[in-house]
Structure 1
Amino acid sequence: MTAGTSLLPPDTAVGRVALRVDDLDRLVDFYTSVVGLAVLARTDDQATLGAGGRPLLELVRGPDAHPRSREEAGLFHTAFRVPDRAALGAALSRVETSWQLTGASDHRVSEALYLWDPEDNGIEIYRDFPREEWPTADGRVGMDTLPLERDALRAESSGDDALPDGADVGHVHLEVTDLDAARAFYEDTLGLGVRAEWTGAAFLAAGDYHHHVGLNVWSGRTAPAAGRGLDWFELVVPADALAAVRDRVAEAGIAVTETAEGILVRDPDRLAVRISVGE
């Protein structure tokens, strides 16, 4: 495909992310008190968390799954997007008060905070700059990693204890074993367009977003996903786009599992992607 173009419609978005966890109670407490999600549904073995009544995170108790090894592919981070700087400042205050921040960056398209949950799943909480301010050229977007001034951000905090209405999962970033193979799957089979490339990483999106899926090989992962961590993530597409995705998957010889909302497929590292139809 031409640089930056995608086969998926521009209103494609990331939906929910599901994690296999060991200590469900502890993870629910963390994601509500630190990240700021609300519990939307809960059973003994599963919890659905979200913002503004919208489900964003599924936590599933997986006691038989071993902790993810250093060799296994999997989640780099789930990126929760907030609508404004006041909400990002509030997130910074919650993390600094109750947890530990591992990084804070200005990416030229967004401002982002980084942390790990209690079972070492990566998390990003971020807000986008207005799109007209993003540096773009030749179908690509110019992202970078620059220091973020935390004092100024902290001063703009709304003081809220929860993520506001409008918060969502803006993107998912994965650690893969083979960047070329993963890129081919997400670009040629699913239909995302490459929006940026760094050494050992690629960032893909539908439409002109900076990225819905990030891929990297920075940690030298060598084995498919098998342990705790990412169970699946969801790309939500318009109804008329699902058939084309199903056709491309079939042409690639990849197994398809039908779901109530669409289909489930696995990437070259056995990471599950749900392609669901939006309302």
Structure 2
Amino acid sequence: MSELPFAATTPVSVSRVGLKARDAESLAAYYRAVVGLQELSRADGAITLGAANRPLLVLEQDSSAKPDDPRSAGLFHTAFLLPSRADLGRWINHAAANRIGIEGASDHLVSEALYMTDPEGNGIEIYADRRPQDWKWNGDRIAMATERLNLPAVVGSVPAGDAGWQGAPENTIVGHVHLRVGRPEDAEAWWHEAFGFDTVAKYGAQAVFLSSGHYHHHIGANAWQSAGAGRRDPSRSGLAWVEMRSDSAKAETSREDPWGTVIRTVPGVPA
């Protein structure tokens, strides 16, 4: 069995993401077929999906919701972290065999990643981390970049005779969530105050990356499409909430970031 990824072992980490869906049934089918998540439960119009018995994504049905506006604050992508590079290679083979539309494939130095968008416009990243001991730090800032992904090398990490992709493997987690915000500096200040996160990287004034426990980032926040955006329109589909796990939290709490995005906190040590 693979180990739990480093991203989930820090004092604070991402637990689950909630999406408001115009058609939760169709969206659940997409995440099962494409990402390999399993349906874990249904309750009160919501479908919970995950890997093994770990809930990762909750789809909340709202047939009256207007489509998400990519220029507003909200979700840039949910990043599903696979336990190993070979798992990412298996997923790439699965994507190729099933003609899954890929919008990007990048080597970020700390990780290797592929990108797509679900049928309701929610961004998705599928990635695997490089070993934390191989990440390059300059003081408290980490070296990240966006370079071309060496697809043959990732696919080549799958052992010969391997059984191939069998769905999201045990210990798949949501490694990070990347948000659309109006002002990255406001997001940076909020995550510092609310969760004690460290700033680990900035892309000019347009994006900031923050983390707990020396991870490369649990939260990204950019204004590439959403500069100056105000509070989210609650009648639109898309991001409903982000749930963070904190080993210092004593009870479940909920708060809103400066754009009205609900950020929940649940107590619990990594499991």
TM-score when normalising by structure 2: 0.88
SS of structure 1 residue aligned to 2:65? coil
Task: Please give the secondary structure, in 1, of the residue aligned with 2:191.
Answer: helix
- How far apart are 1:152 and its partner, in Å? 2.6
User: Which of residues 179, 183, 189 in structure 1 aligns to 2:188?
Assistant: 183
* Equivalent-residue separation in structure 2 for 1:277 and 1:70 (angstroms): 32
Give the CA deviation at 1:43: 4.6
Which residue of structure 2 aligns with residue 167 of structure 1? Answer: 172
Partner of 1:22: 22
- Distance in 2 (CA, whole Å) between partners of 1:191 and 1:54 is 25
**1:144 counterpart SS class:** coil
Residue from 185, 210, 225 that aligns with 2:232: 225
Which residue is 2:199 aligned to?
194
1:148 aligns with 2:154: no
Distance 2:232 2:94 in 1: 31
Q: Does 2:267 match 1:267?
A: no
How many residues matched? 252
Corresponding letter in the other structure for 2:267: V
For residue 249 of structure 2, give the secondary structure of its aligned residue in structure 1: helix
Moved more, 64-73 or 210-219: 64-73
Q: Structure 2 unaligned runs (5+)? A: 1-8
Superposed, 1:61-80 pairs within 5 Å as: 61-80=61-80
Amino acid in the other structure paired with 1:231: A
C-alpha contact (below 8 Å) 1:73/1:177 kept by paired residues: yes
Q: Could you tell me how far apart the structure 1 residues matched to 2:183 and 2:87 are?
A: 36
Aligned pairs (5 A) from 1:64-143: 64-96=64-96, 97-143=98-144
More moved, 117-126 vs 182-191: 182-191
Query: Structure 1 length normalisation: TM-score?
Result: 0.86
Return the letter of the residue paired with 2:174.
Answer: V
2: CA distance between counterparts of 1:79 and 1:277?
22
Q: Does residue 208 of the first structure (1) align with residue 198 of the second (2)?
A: no
Identity across matched positions, percent: 38
Question: How far, CA to CA, are the matches of 2:77 and 2:94 in structure 1?
Answer: 19
CA contact (8 A) 1:35 1:94 kept: no
Deviation string for 1:154-213 (max 9, x for gaps)? Answer: 343451130111110000000001112111101123211101111211000011100000
Q: Conserved in 2, the CA contact under 8 Å of 1:71 and 1:223?
A: no
Runs of 4+ in 1 over 4 A off after TM superposition: none
Greater CA drift, 174-183 or 39-48 = 39-48
RMSD: 1.6
**In the alignment, is the contact (CA less than 8 A) between 1:33 and 1:161 conserved in 2?**
no
Residue type of the partner of 2:68? Answer: R
1:209 aligned counterpart, secondary structure: coil
What residue number does 1:48 align with? 48
Q: Which amino acid aligns with 1:145?
A: T
Does the 8 Å contact 2:252/2:264 carry over to 1?
yes
Q: Name the aligned partner's letter for residue 201 of structure 1.
A: A
Q: Deviations over 1:80-132 (max 9, x none)?
A: 00111111012222333242000111101000110111111000011110111
Secondary structure of 1:242's partner?
coil
Contact between 2:68 and 2:121, CA under 8 Å: does it hold in 1? no
Q: Does the 8 Å contact 2:73/2:226 carry over to 1?
A: no
